[in-house]
């Protein structure tokens, strides 16, 4: 299948390099793209710099693709995030939860050429931190991850996938045009999260402390 994907950057990138970039991104080393040109425009800009939405064509036939949001639970996403990003573990509970999630819900991304999943912008990252600290339930985390539509990432991880990338063009992204929308998405997610009646303690919902106590595993039906 032919797909057009976009990478937001301050630079024009005609030939992405394999195993380059920041190993502490959400899914480790990889080339982080999106199927939305609009989101790429927003991701390309900062308060200081304009950028580019670099467009590529890729043939995904015979490539192994993991769609996290469809094939895995939020706990698997949490395990990947905990492995690659830096969390504030300032309590005994959060440290215990950190190790428990890594031990019970980690998945190996190495066999996959492409991973598609949530992009942990600041707001999504803070929601994950709240779950780790037992502030919100598993159900509330699932609800929060849909706020603001911050977009899914299409991450190119393998050499085989990199060889399929064909550069098409780079469209300029001006910060005065795209930064307000970028900030609004994050602000909307945070505002809805803080002011929704979905927040607060919910009897009968699943919190990390209960998962620890019951030593829940990846095949538990409550996680689907």
Q: Which helix (H) or strand (E) holds 139?
A: helix 138-144
Phi, psi of 56 (to 5 degrees): -135, 155
Cα–Cα dist 189/37, whole Å: 21
Question: Would you give per-residue pLDDT tens digits along the chain (224 residues)?
Answer: 899 999 999 999 999 988 777 777 888 889 999 999 999 999 999 999 999 999 999 999 999 999 998 899 999 998 998 898 888 888 899 999 999 999 999 999 999 999 999 887 777 778 888 999 998 899 988 888 877 677 789 999 999 999 999 999 999 999 999 999 888 888 887 887 777 656 666 678 999 999 999 999 988 988 87
Q: What is the pLDDT of residue 88?
A: 80
Sequence-separated (6 or more) residues with CB below 8 Å from residue 48:
175
* Residue 218 Cα to chain centre, angstroms: 20
Sequence-separated (6 or more) residues with CB below 8 Å from residue 98:
82, 87, 89, 132
* Residue 19 Cα to chain centre, angstroms: 18
Locate the domains of the chain by residue range. Answer: 2-217
Cα–Cα dist 118/223, whole Å: 17
Neighbours of 114 (CB within 10 A): 24
């Amino acid at each position: 299948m032919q797909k057009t994907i976009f990478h937001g950057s301050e630079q024009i990138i005609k030939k992405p390099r394999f195993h380059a970039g920041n190993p502490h991104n959400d899914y480790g080393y990889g080339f982080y793209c999106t199927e939305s040109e609009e989101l790429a425009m927003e991701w390309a800009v900062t308060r200081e710099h304009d950028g580019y939405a670099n467009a590529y064509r890729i043939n995904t036939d015979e490539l192994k693709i993991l769609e996290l949001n469809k094939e895995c639970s939020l706990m698997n996403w949490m395990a990947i995030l905990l492995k690659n990003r830096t969390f504030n573990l300032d309590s005994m509970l959060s440290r215990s939860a950190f190790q428990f999630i890594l031990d019970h819900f980690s998945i190996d991304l190495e066999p996959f050429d492409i991973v598609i999943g949530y992009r942990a912008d600041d707001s999504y990252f803070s929601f994950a931190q709240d779950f780790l600290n037992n502030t919100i339930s598993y159900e509330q985390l699932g609800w929060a991850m849909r706020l603001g539509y911050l977009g899914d990432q299409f991450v190119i991880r393998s050499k085989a996938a990199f060889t399929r990338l064909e550069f098409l063009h780079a469209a300029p992204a001006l910060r005065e045009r795209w930064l307000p929308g970028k900030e609004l998405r994050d602000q909307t997610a945070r505002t809805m999260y803080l002011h929704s009646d979905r927040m607060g303690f919910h009897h009968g919902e699943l919190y990390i402390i209960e998962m620890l106590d019951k030593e829940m595993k990846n095949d538990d039906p409550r996680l689907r």
